[in-house]
Structure 1
């Protein structure tokens, strides 16, 4: 009998997903715009194709953006000067405009990192474990360094050290890769503040909605066995992994309820009517009935403060949340005690261009309208 439980995961994107590589791409240095498309430059090949015999020409080359070295005839999808091509263009056509890069493998193929998926599952498990242990928030247990503020709670809930961490028994593989040209898009993201104002645009590469990734998940049962107990390697919380679908469902239902409530205040719609589209999206999620082996989940960039680690478990009682906000300086500006926190959400929009490529306003990113990022449906199928 195998010591592993093995599952096939099918992850279907309901909204675009951005998992950043950590790199910012610059217009005319890393990408070019041509005929309504964004062309990701292969900078090394572009430079290698230039004549370098003349020192003066080489000096001029060093000061020239790579995109300026290309001719109109170079812009073909098969050209070796480009790594990939994306339909659509960023909001800003200015030289040096920034687009945040989507994570890809060395062959420029899209994939879902196992670490990102495992991190989202870890968040749900922590949230659920808190309820099972009936813990109460205590600022004395929070570390002074905001990066590790909840680490003591994490150790209480999941294990005191890496050898005894529950997540040691959960192994999530990277997904199978997908071609970039078919599944990558550019999206314009704005911070939507509670007062109806919008933050500066953030342009990102993102995996399209309706994309499906496939990967595998293993649960190492040996770490809950008599052998593990004899060797002081046994882990707590094995039943939570057995009930992973139910655990994540409960966490996501709470997330959906809170996000829907954030957008449903009547006065809020009066400030920004398009916020109604996000509310309607969450209403649809709340009413949806995934198969019994599936769950909804939000992951990747843009999930916000409540999508990280313990999130809402620290917001009750409200007085404790106020202490956390003050201690870690989480609120910037004129927030008063008792005001909603966090006060903003990230939503997807796009730029609307006229025939000359000029921006003429914001329009909905998808037929439904403005949307949050990173909502997925995960289906788990046991492999026997």
Structure 2
């Protein structure tokens, strides 16, 4: 086949993600507490056990159904003192002090491969890119933003943005309920105007492929997370009766690598038929969109913490540097509406300004005393071209 029949130009990029705060990407499942073995006092490393081993303890009557469902095990316990075959350890894991002291009932596991190794799914990263591209486009194209607002309002009897600005326990489920028409409006930002070209094969992100990451080679950590809500000038737990949520998280400082592939020829072809929608030429467009998104969410979250007297939870590392070769991102569970929705850019004329109408609750990692300790989901992303 002649070269002129192969117009696509493939560019590969190495992406390096550095966790700045605890990161959790879950499976949608939970594991009973007895799947976890706490380390002896003074040691850091515990374990997650294979399901068959924990179920065997229950079947043999060595633990009660109550303990099976509610309590982690310990290597000091009599039922384990006889030793556990290494084949029954699924993967090593550490525990925060809060998790060691408070863990019961269940843990949200991090997504893992068939060998029990944690990794970042390419689909989660691509979803983050998609949100940032749409956010940046709407931030820089006022008419497109007004058009989308009008279309969204036409879908809702009382207006979606009005509902989100007046969120309450009564309407939160309605707001969060998946709505195919809403999704379609946002997806059309990535596709040409012509009706016959609004199907997924014309989506410009077809030309962007994101691999699953390499396995994360350091043990994850079980952390305790609580929901805090703003009350005047302070934050407090949403409910004093609600126990923390326990989840496996990537420790801050962990570096994780994956690949991004751009079909630059296809980007050009799809961009030509998509002149007034989202366009991508190269990886700099991805970084630029992520940086636009970062500047808005950083200001909102920093302002929220300052207004509620928990400045020590904020880290300057979360702030997007000017002319930087990286982008600050939020990824996974707990990144909230700033990290995974378009609401900040649609809800008011100044999206960077914190307003009383915005959501007042945040998921925050807690200390053993139940105090706010760290935000979830913050990271730094570098993208560099792989030489041919």
TM-score by structure 2 length?
0.73
Partner of 2:311: 276
Partner of 2:340: 308
Partner of 2:261: 218
C-alpha deviations, 1:56-108, integer Å up to 9, x for none?
A: x9685797667689331325xx7222212323366476896111111111101
SS of the residue corresponding to residue 377 of structure 1 reads: strand
Q: Residues 74 and 259 of structure 1: is their aligned pair in 2 closer, same or farther, counting only changes over 3 Å?
A: same
Q: How many residues align?
A: 327
Deviates more, 1:212-221 or 1:58-67: 58-67
User: How far apart, in 2, do the equivalents of 1:83 and 1:131 lie?
Assistant: 46
Partner of 2:379: 376
TM-score by structure 1 length?
0.74
Q: Residues 165 and 59 of structure 1: is their aligned pair in 2 closer, same or farther, counting only changes over 3 Å?
A: same
- Contact 1:102 1:204 survives alignment (8 Å): yes
C-alpha deviations, 1:317-339, integer Å up to 9, x for none?
A: 59xxxxxxxxxxxxxxxxxxx84
C-alpha deviations, 1:18-76, integer Å up to 9, x for none?
A: 00011211122x2233524543122324667x8xxxxxx9685797667689331325x
SS of the residue corresponding to residue 153 of structure 2 reads: helix
Deviation at 1:184, TM superposition (A): 0.5
1:173 equivalent to 2:211? Answer yes
1:86 equivalent to 2:93? Answer yes
Query: Which of 190, 196, 221 is equivalent to 1:185?
Result: 221
Partner of 1:246: 288
RMSD across aligned C-alpha pairs, in angstroms? 3.3
- Contact 1:163 1:233 survives alignment (8 Å): no
1:197 equivalent to 2:229? Answer no
Partner of 1:32: 37
User: How far apart, in 2, do the equivalents of 1:71 and 1:252 lie?
Assistant: 48
SS of the residue corresponding to residue 23 of structure 1 reads: coil
C-alpha deviations, 1:317-370, integer Å up to 9, x for none?
A: 59xxxxxxxxxxxxxxxxxxx84320111111232xxxxxxxxx2467xxxxx2
Query: Which of 130, 133, 153 is equivalent to 1:140?
Result: 153
Deviation at 1:233, TM superposition (A): 9.6
- Contact 1:172 1:216 survives alignment (8 Å): yes
